[in-house]
Amino acid sequence: MEIIKIRDEFIKLGQALKLAGICSSGVDAKHLIENGAVTVNGKVELQRGKKLRHGDVFACDGKSVQISG
């Protein structure tokens, strides 16, 4: 599992997908999320603006990433 560190209280899901290298643009992130290809803490997430906080885990295409502070 990869870990990405954030300085703020939260990061939005679309931004986190780009930061983790899962997608290269916001449009790509939007399509992945809308198609139900992204999970947050084990549940399919359909909101690109979902706020991820320290300890949350998101996954896409077999890659899992945890948010850390």
Q: Where are the domains of the chain?
A: 2-68
The pTM of this model reads 0.92
Residue-wise pLDDT for 26-48, tens only, equals: 999 999 999 999 999 999 999 99
Strand partners, 5: 68
Report the 3 state secondary structure along the chain.
CEEEECCCCEEEHHHHHHHCCCCCCHHHHHHHHHCCCEEECCEECCCCCCEEECCCEEEECCEEEEEEC
The 10s digit of each residue's pLDDT in 11-29 is 999 999 999 999 999 999 9
Domain 2-68: homologous superfamily in CATH: RNA-binding S4 domain (3.10.290.10)
